[in-house]
Structure 1
Amino acid sequence: MNDGQTIDAAARRLTQALDALEAAVERRHEADRTEAGLAAQVQALGDDRARLADDLDTVSARAKSLETANRDVIRRLDLAMQSIRNVIEGGDR
């Protein structure tokens, strides 16, 4: 092999090595972009979870309030029905 061929072979190997390096750098950049995208999605999921937890707390408090009001209405209806029965029974005598 003469000097010209040796230089050409070295140049080809250098070109291949540079191409491989460029491809590796591009893969790394893509991985970084993917990681950043995933981090943004995780942040969004965390925000959604916090919002949903707040909504759940609000709805749970509302449900408890409605449950209490429902019990009060039932108690009042029972008293009203008992009063009506007493009036009817008093009128039958």
Structure 2
Amino acid sequence: MAAGKTVKSAIEELRNAVTGLDHAIDSRLDRERDRGEIEGEVRRVNTDRSRLAQELDQSQFRANRLEEVNREVSRRLVTAMETIRAVLDR
């Protein structure tokens, strides 16, 4: 009977070891899947950041250009008002 108990005990230990290995493999696969999802999210965030940086640069360029145009319009208005005053003063 001792040999039968030893075999049953060995089989139970083997079963426990295989179950533990299954759990370890499942955990590892879950971590790898999570890691892949995180890496994908990081790539998406970097893509968005690049796009937003480009849009910001374009907006800044446009704002600078509008400021230049505004100064030019103001200069021309001042010139027109001075011309009108000069004509009226004559």
- What is the aligned partner in structure 1 of residue 44 from structure 2? 44
* Unmatched runs of 5 consecutive residues or more in structure 2: none
- What is the aligned partner in structure 1 of residue 63 from structure 2? 63
Q: Deviations over 1:1-47 (max 9, x none)?
A: 61111111111111011100100000000000000011111111111
CA RMSD of aligned residues (A): 1.1
1: CA distance, partners of 2:89 / 2:13: 110
Q: Which amino acid in structure 2 is aligned with residue 73 of structure 1?
A: V
TM-score (norm 2): 0.93
Residue identity (%): 37
* Unmatched runs of 5 consecutive residues or more in structure 1: none
Q: How do 1:12-51 residues align onto structure 2 when only pairs under 5 Å count?
A: 12-51=12-51
Q: Which amino acid in structure 2 is aligned with residue 85 of structure 1?
A: R
2: CA distance, partners of 1:10 / 1:87: 114
2: CA distance, partners of 1:73 / 1:10: 93
Aligned residues: 90
